[in-house]
Amino acid sequence: MSKTKYDTPAPKLPFEEQINFFKNKLNLPTDSYLDLEGQEHDYAFVVAGANRNDILTDFRTAVDKAINDGTTLEAFRKSFDEIVSERGWNYNGGRDWRSRIIYDTNLYSSFAAGRHEQHGRMKALRPYWEYKHRDGVKHPRPLHKDWDGLVLHCDDPFWQTHYPINGYGCHCSVIAHSAKSLQREELKISKSPKINYVTKELGKRSGNPKTVTLPEGIDYGFDRIAGSNRVDMPSKLLLDKAVSVPPKLATNMVSNVLQVAEVRALLNNEVKEMVDLVEKEKIARGVSKSVGVLPEPVVDALVAENLTPSSAVITLRDHDVLHALRDNKDAPLPLSFWENIADYLIEPEAVLLDTLKADNALLYIINLGTDKGKVIVRLDYELKVKDEDGKRQRIITNIIRSGKQIVYNQKMRDGLSQHKVLFGAITP
């Protein structure tokens, strides 16, 4: 395809904040662009419909190269064609449109997030922000053109929903000004525009439509400042989302991400806060954290046993931590185990199906270094949790019920041999 004046140029001179914003994202397979809420894009690299890790990893590499090296859209399209051909990916929409969406959205959202981080550091020196609409866009949005030249203080509420980019294909930007630069360029502070909200139904043909209310002129997922909601909470993004995902897909999706030590460290930090509070106060507040997923071989073995789990996610409740840390607990697991549980769950020595109890449960055998531990994970447990609106909802997950250190002698091995090994082995 020959280059036209409307072909997307890469943002010039990629900078540290932009590169870091994208580098710190986690690959997350999805089926639809509606699978994530707006702020969750701060954590996740997604390509709508790319629900396989191999496809997502390839696109991640191509986009990363585009950001770091200034790859053009046409060069990116060559990578797009190679990925589609090699991976056999069936996608919605035309090739040119789809490749542009992937390229555009990731380059310009990372650029915007990095620029906003810079602007935030300069607020004391350059507290006035000017909205700039980029000329040459093939299908300019009338409202975006109307906002061109708008100058508002950086703390004006308008920016919380309108700091660009503001939609697919949007190349708008912001320039930060000092009082002197406003005077030099003969710019005046504008009146903050009234924000009109519109209600839309999205994904009508997807079978899973969603009704949303957005500021007029803003696309779904763009009514926020890219990067501003990023906090170190991987459990919410990775694991809580995975509760409702089919178990095989969930374990593939999350296991690969949890192989990254930095991600597990973030997750352990979350869990440590909950565990340390329980240890200090000796009370449970009804808090729970998703801490891992069942290994893929365990999911496959459970399916073969006609015990297909509803979810692959493993959840830890503060109630069960309190029980495990009580003073009269026999051979309790060390506090450090609970604080670093993500590291232990991802590499169990063995996982056994408890064949002696009516309730389906797994026995995780954990290597603690010089000692070993046993953790009981109850399958398909109905748990009440609060959603983002504070409303209680029921989810099905797998919960850690108890744990203890074990003396790994012949008697213990004989006892464990009564259960069915699903993963690993009972070592001599």
Locate tokens 């979350």: which residue? Answer: 270
Residue 340 pLDDT > 90, yes or no? yes
- Residue 356 is classified by DSSP as S
How far out from the chain centre does Cα 328 lie? 39
Residue 349 contacts residue 372 (beta carbons within 8 Å): yes
Question: What would the mean pLDDT of 19-40 be, rounded to a whole number?
Answer: 74
Band (6; pLDDT cuts 50, 70, 90)? very low
Percentage of the residues of the chain whose pLDDT score is greater than 90: 50
Cis-peptide, bond into residue 396, ω within 30° of zero:
no
- Could you give the CA distance from residue 186 to residue 218 in angstroms, rounded to a whole number? 29
- Could you give the CA distance from residue 119 to residue 177 in angstroms, rounded to a whole number? 10
Cis-peptide, bond into residue 19, ω within 30° of zero:
no
Pairing relation of β-strands 392-406 and 313-317? parallel
Locate tokens 């954990």: which residue? Answer: 366
User: What tokens appear for 361 in the block?
Assistant: 């449960």
Nearest to 21 by CA among 154, 165, 117, 164: 117
C-alpha gyration radius of the chain: 25
Across the chain, what does the average pLDDT equal?
85
Element (H, E) at 380: strand 372-386
Band (359; pLDDT cuts 50, 70, 90)? confident
Which of 138-152, 175-189, 316-330 shows the lowest per-residue confidence on average (mean pLDDT)? 316-330
Which residues, other chains included, contact 121 with Cβ-Cβ below 8 Å and sequence gap of 6+? none
Band (206; pLDDT cuts 50, 70, 90)? low
pLDDT at 351: 95
Three-state DSSP state, 321:
helix
Percentage of the residues of the chain whose pLDDT score is greater than 70: 88
Locate tokens 């003073």: which residue? Answer: 327
User: What tokens appear for 206 in the block?
Assistant: 């997807």
Residue 388 pLDDT > 60, yes or no? no
- Could you give the CA distance from residue 296 to residue 306 in angstroms, rounded to a whole number? 15
The pLDDT tens digits for 402-419 are 899 988 788 888 888 888
The pLDDT tens digits for 265-296 are 878 888 999 999 999 999 999 888 889 899 99
Residue 325 pLDDT > 80, yes or no? yes
- Measure Cα distances from 16 to 94, 124, 161 in Å: 33, 21, 24
SS3 string of 11-56? CCCCCHHHHHHHHCCEECCCCCCCCCCHHHHHCEECCCCCCCHHHH
Which of 122-136, 143-157, 412-426 shows the lowest per-residue confidence on average (mean pLDDT)? 412-426
The pLDDT tens digits for 223-260 are 988 877 655 455 655 666 667 667 877 777 677 677 77
Strand stretches in 230-356, DSSP E: 288-293, 313-317, 350-353
Length of the chain: 428
- Identify which has the larger pLDDT, 30 or 377: 377
DSSP symbols for 202-226: E-TTTTS-EEEEEETT--TT-SS-T
pLDDT at 149: 96
